[in-house]
């Protein structure tokens, strides 16, 4: 029997699905982080190799029966970066005497898009640590907006919300900004209570800035005006992502699937965002994804064979 493999390389874990040619799953397993933005290519190669070895053993097969493999991971959004890792991994397994028939690297957003609509046209918006929107038209053309990273982009993401929250705190500590419930929440959780401790936490101790986002949301839920303003601005940014993609796709109705904890969990931010879609974008239908990103990678693996 010949097999297809799809891999979803996440920041916390990597999911691997093995299917037959009818896309019926025969084995699934998980491993560590394979996000190329936070892990070096050698470590990611090792994690993927372990998953392939485990899968091969469990399905009682060998590599010659694996017809095609696609992995989608953050850090592979540009073709050059994807190709570099592809070559790196193939070299890594070649040293172990292994040759794969087809191994292809894609971005995590791309496999999520394919999985969400089973390869058909549609759009996805991702808002987790970062943010990006992807769309596919009836001709198979792919469009995107956002995804410029934390330094110049990622509006409407956990990182951007956390950054604005900490900026509001810095102004409050200085006497340049309003008092905010966020100061108490951050003090209790991070033991940050003044300017010096804030600077040390961010620039010396590498504070996970995105981890502050839930506290901004909680404060907004408690009617904190500073945090409400932040979330109003950040939800507006995601609405602009959708407007930008609509112009590119030129579809009368936009089917949109949502990914990422910021907009899929039940919180102040997601409720505000969904309300704005309903009020401002009546031609946007928010739908549930049909399949997981890992299954989207399987679909792309099968498509490669054509």
Task: Give the CATH number for residue 66.
Answer: 3.30.420.40
Helix (H, G, I), strand (E, B) or coil at 96: coil
Residues 6+ apart with CB under 8 A from 270: 262, 263, 264
Highest mean pLDDT among 7-16, 53-62, 270-279: 270-279
**pLDDT score for 34:** 76
As a whole number, mean pLDDT of residues 98-110 equals: 87
DSSP 8-state assignment for residue 65 = G
One domain for residues 101 and 200: no
**Total structural domains in the chain?**
2
**pLDDT score for 237:** 96
DSSP 8-state assignment for residue 112 = H
One domain for residues 31 and 168: no
Rounded to whole angstroms, the Cα distance separating 233 from 253 reads: 25
CA distances from 115 to 72, 167, 189, 224 (A): 11, 37, 37, 38
pLDDT category, 95, cuts 50, 70, 90? Answer: confident
**pLDDT score for 150:** 79
One domain for residues 136 and 279: yes
Residue 35 has pLDDT above 70, yes or no: yes
User: If we measure between CA atoms, which residue out of 71, 10, 13 comes closest to residue 37?
Assistant: 10
pLDDT cut 90: percent of the chain above it: 64
One domain for residues 139 and 22: no
One domain for residues 175 and 298: no
User: If we measure between CA atoms, which residue out of 174, 159, 167 comes closest to residue 229?
Assistant: 167
Phi, psi of 28 (to 5 degrees): -135, 145
Lowest mean pLDDT among 136-140, 275-279, 280-284: 136-140
Lowest mean pLDDT among 28-37, 107-116, 167-176, 253-262: 28-37
As a whole number, mean pLDDT of residues 198-211 equals: 91
Rounded to whole angstroms, the Cα distance separating 70 from 296 reads: 9
pLDDT tens per residue across span 222-279: 999 999 999 999 999 999 999 999 999 988 899 999 998 899 999 999 999 999 999 9
Phi, psi of 51 (to 5 degrees): -65, -40
Residue 38 has pLDDT above 80, yes or no: no
Average pLDDT for the chain: 90
**pLDDT score for 83:** 87
Rounded to whole angstroms, the Cα distance separating 171 from 229 reads: 15
One domain for residues 147 and 282: yes
The sign of the CA dihedral 183, 185, 187, 192 is negative
One domain for residues 13 and 76: yes
One domain for residues 144 and 258: yes
**pLDDT score for 55:** 92
Q: How are beta strands 254-259 and 14-19 bridged, if at all?
A: unpaired
One domain for residues 107 and 188: no
One domain for residues 296 and 238: no
Count how many Cα atoms sit within 13 Å of the Cα of residue 205 in the half-sphere of its side chain.
Answer: 12
One domain for residues 270 and 159: yes
Phi, psi of 142 (to 5 degrees): -105, 135
- Bigger pLDDT: 33 or 258? 258
**pLDDT score for 157:** 92
**pLDDT score for 39:** 67
Q: What is the residue range of 165's domain? A: 122-287
One domain for residues 228 and 299: no
Q: How are beta strands 284-287 and 25-31 bridged, if at all?
A: unpaired
Angle between helices 182-190 and 213-221 (to 10 degrees): 140
The pTM (predicted TM-score) of the whole model is 0.85
Q: Which residues pair with 285 in a beta bridge?
A: 255
């Amino acid at each position: 029997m010949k097999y297809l493999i799809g891999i979803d390389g996440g920041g916390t874990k990597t999911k691997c699905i093995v299917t037959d040619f009818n896309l019926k799953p025969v084995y699934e397993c998980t491993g560590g982080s394979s996000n190329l933005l936070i892990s070096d290519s050698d470590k990611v190669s090792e994690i993927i190799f372990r998953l392939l070895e485990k899968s091969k053993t469990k399905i009682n097969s060998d590599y010659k029966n694996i017809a095609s493999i696609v992995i989608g991971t953050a850090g592979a959004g540009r073709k050059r970066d994807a190709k570099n890792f592809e070559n790196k991994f193939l070299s890594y397994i070649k040293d172990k005497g292994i040759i794969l028939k087809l191994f292809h690297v894609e971005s995590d957003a791309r496999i999520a898009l394919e999985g969400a609509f089973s390869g058909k046209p549609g759009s996805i918006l991702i808002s987790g640590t970062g943010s990006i929107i992807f769309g596919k038209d009836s001709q198979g053309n792919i469009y995107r907006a956002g995804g410029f990273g934390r330094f110049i982009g990622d509006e409407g993401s956990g990182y951007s919300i956390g950054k604005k929250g900490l900026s509001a705190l810095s102004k409050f500590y200085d006497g340049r900004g309003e008092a905010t419930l966020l100061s108490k929440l951050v003090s209790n959780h991070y033991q940050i209570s003044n300017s010096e401790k804030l600077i040390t936490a961010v620039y010396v101790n590498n504070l996970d800035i995105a981890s502050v986002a839930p506290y901004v949301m909680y404060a907004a839920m408690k009617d904190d005006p500073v945090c409400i303003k932040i979330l109003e601005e950040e939800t507006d940014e995601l609405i602009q992502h959708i407007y930008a993609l609509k112009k590119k796709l030129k579809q009368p109705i936009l089917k949109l699937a949502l990914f990422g904890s910021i907009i899929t969990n039940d919180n102040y931010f997601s409720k505000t965002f969904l309300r704005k879609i309903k009020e401002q974008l009546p031609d946007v239908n928010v739908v549930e994804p049909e399949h997981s990103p890992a299954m989207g990678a399987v679909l792309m693996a099968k498509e490669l064979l054509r």
